Amino acid sequence: MKISVCGKGGSGKSTVATLLALSAVSRGLKTLVIDSDESNSGLYRMLGFDAPPSPLMELLGGKRGVKQRMGQKDILSQALISIDEVPPDHATRKDGLILMSIGKILQAYEGCACPMGVLSREFLRKLKLEANEIAIIDMEAGVEHFGRGIDESVDWVILVVEPSYESVALASRIFSISNVMQKKLRAVLNKVDSKEVEMLLTRRLKDIGIEVDGVIPQDPDVFKQCLEGKPLARGKAFGAAARVMEGLFS
């Protein structure tokens, strides 16, 4: 199963991806998390890693290497890639989790993130998972990844919606795009601090045809862990995310 976690900037994609990954590990699944966000770099901390993995871009000689090979059929030399075939530097392991990163924009004038988009899409397309394996992809904010076709090979799109007008507006667009791409979608509310907010958001989403599949509360522990760059714990928000994960298997 490959699932992408998407939504508005700051809505909680990385938080939800992390909590889903922890719950996948608890279910006994071999869990690969792929950091596909070329801007933010803190996902490894949330997941409890001491350092980020070496980006997959480096395996291909950096951005220039991908650009040079973009016109060729075999950007990655194999037709299919299993998790264990990824060199350990690029797929670091801790506490049952495996973490990969596509690449980050680090320097001024280094150009756009398109090569990273190509690499994300191709890697996900070629990634071969066994029945007990799951890949959770932490997407960049917004909808560009849909335009780039990165979600092409995912089985589920997890749409994270926070309590804001913009987040609901973006949810509507993502819902339409997912339908066109014939992707199964699960909408998850995040940072919900009251029953009233939950009902309001649920109603707004229902009006545009989206059913809510999970509600993750505003969790002061998560807030503090994010502030301090600490690993996310299996607390209140984790329980809600675990139910979302459960739903994917039912």
Ligand X SMILES: Nc1ncnc2c1ncn2[C@@H]1O[C@H](COP(=O)(O)OP(=O)(O)OP(=O)(O)O)[C@@H](O)[C@H]1O
Based on the shown chain and the rule CB under 5 A, indicate whether residue 167 belongs to the binding site for Mg ion. Answer: no
Cβ-contact 57, 119 below 8 angstroms: yes
What is 13-50 written as a DSSP string?
A: HHHHHHHHHHHHHHTT-EEEEEE--SS---HHHHTT-S
Based on the shown chain and the rule CB under 6 A, indicate whether residue 37 belongs to the binding site for ligand X. Answer: yes
Based on the shown chain and the rule CB under 5 A, indicate whether residue 178 belongs to the binding site for Mg ion. Answer: no
DSSP-assigned letter for residue 103:
-
Instruction: Name beta bridge partners: 94.
Output: 97
- With CB under 5 A as the contact rule, the residue among 4, 11, 14, 92 that binds Mg ion is 14
Beta carbon of residue 163, minimum distance to Mg ion (angstroms, whole number): 18
Site string for ligand X, 133-172 (x = CB under 6 A): --------x-------------------------------
- Region of 22 on the Ramachandran plot (φ > 0 left; ψ -120 to 50 alpha; else beta): alpha
Q: Looking at 12-20, 47-55, 104-112, 203-211, which segment touches ligand X (CB under 6 A)?
A: 12-20
Q: Of the two residues 60 and 242, which places its CB atom closer to ligand X in the complex?
A: 242
Q: Of the two residues 39 and 68, which places its CB atom closer to ligand X in the complex?
A: 39
Q: Of the two residues 123 and 238, which places its CB atom closer to ligand X in the complex?
A: 238
Q: Of the two residues 5 and 135, which places its CB atom closer to ligand X in the complex?
A: 5
How many residues bind to ligand X according to rule CB under 6 A?
Answer: 19
Instruction: Name beta bridge partners: 2.
Output: 135
Beta carbon of residue 140, minimum distance to Mg ion (angstroms, whole number): 8
Based on the shown chain and the rule CB under 6 A, indicate whether residue 45 belongs to the binding site for ligand X. Answer: no
Cβ-contact 145, 117 below 8 angstroms: yes
Cβ-contact 13, 141 below 8 angstroms: yes
- With CB under 6 A as the contact rule, the residue among 219, 242, 245, 248 that binds ligand X is 219
Q: Of the two residues 59 and 232, which places its CB atom closer to ligand X in the complex?
A: 232
Between the alpha carbon of residue 179 and those of residues 13, 106, 124, 185, the distances in Å are 20, 34, 20, 8
Distance of CA 193 to the CA centre of its chain: 23
In the numeric block, which tokens belong to residue 37? Answer: 């966000």
Based on the shown chain and the rule CB under 6 A, indicate whether residue 40 belongs to the binding site for ligand X. Answer: yes
Cβ-contact 21, 137 below 8 angstroms: no
**Residues at the interface with ligand X (CB under 6 A):** 9-15, 37, 40, 141, 190-191, 216, 218-219, 222-223, 226, 237
**Residues at the interface with Mg ion (CB under 5 A):** 13-14, 40
